[in-house]
Amino acid sequence: MKITWLGHSGFRIEIEQAVLLVDPWLTGNPLFPAERRDEALQGATHLLLTHGHGDHSGDTVQIAKKLAIPVVGIYDLVTWWQEKEGIDGIGFNKGGTVTLGGAKVTMVAATHSSSVSGEAGPIYTGTESGYMISGEGHTIYVSGDTDIMADMGWMGEYHKPDIGILAAGGHFTMDMKRAAFAARKYFDFRKVIPCHYRTFPLLEQDASSLREGLPGVEVIEPEVLEPIVV
């Protein structure tokens, strides 16, 4: 299994027979090298979205059309794009599980907001979400944009993820200290990968507070397009 950061909250996850592009905001992403776009997209089988904000969904429709692969995510957004853009999609909701190339993907709660920009203002795109992705003997928790929530208690107990991909840049999501608290209190991770940081000066620039708050856990600060092999 390989987990590759695409900058901000974007990831390429190669698991079972699936190559999942999670929140693929590439165009305009300050951390993503535009000249390596084809490398990031090569062999992708599905696009997996946590919510509609442009710094997560920005390139989704374009990639879906170019590669002829489905968008997977909250029913409201996916079905709207199917009707409006003519893309293929798999829309589902909290508690639902879909099988993507042999990997089991369950949608779980997050606490944030979700919209895209419209001519008359923001357009509601369904609720924000996170995912539990299981395959090859591992379960990855992709938190999506969120703060700490009590729901993390049952999510950790029920799904038992060993890898956490946690939005931890602060301002729009929990920061590194809050992410460390959530991971320590609600989960038993072996590895934690922070995201939604370093992109802008407004966000946290390193994961030192996360690492300090998680003794005994391997905290991996990812580098863009450098695979983490699990």
Residue 124's CATH number:
3.60.15.10
Question: Residues 137-166: what's their mean pLDDT?
Answer: 98
In the predicted model, is pLDDT for residue 55 greater than 90? yes
Contacts of residue 118, Cβ cutoff 8 Å, sequence gap at least 6: none
What 3-state class would DSSP assign to 84? helix
Please state, rounded to an integer, the average pLDDT across all residues of the chain: 97
Burial annotation 168-205 (CB, 10 A radius, 16+ → b, else e) = bbbebbbbbebbbbbbeebbebebbbbbbbbbeeebbe
Q: Which amino acid does the sequence have at 138?
A: H
Q: In terms of residue numbers, what domain contains 91?
A: 2-229
Category of 207 on φ-ψ map: left (φ > 0), alpha (ψ -120 to 50) or beta: alpha
Q: How many domains does the structure of the chain reveal?
A: 1
Question: Residues 90-104: what's their mean pLDDT?
Answer: 98
| The model scores a pTM over 0.95 | yes
Instruction: Pull the structure tokens for residue 107.
Output: 């949608």
